Amino acid sequence: MAAKVRRNDTVEVMSGKDRGRRGDVRSVVTSSNRLLVGGVNMVKKHRRARSANEPSQIIEIESPIHASNVRVVCRSCDQAARVGFRVLEDGRKVRYCKRCDEAID
Ligand SMILES: [Zn+2]
Q: Where are the domains of the chain?
A: 10-97
What pLDDT does residue 1 have?
Answer: 65
Question: Which residue type sits at 48?
Answer: R
Q: Which stretches of the chain score pLDDT less than 50?
A: none
Distance 13 CA to ligand 1 centre (A): 17
What pLDDT does residue 105 have?
Answer: 84
CATH topology of domain 10-97: SH3 type barrels. (2.30.30)
d(CA 60, CA 46): 9
Residues with CB under 5 A from ligand 1 (ion): 74, 76-77, 97, 99-100
For 38-84, give the DSSP string. TTSSEEEEEE---BTTB--EEEEEE--EEGGGEEEEPTTT-SEE-EE
Instruction: Return the DSSP state at 103.
Output: B
CA-nearest of 16, 63, 14 to 39 is: 63
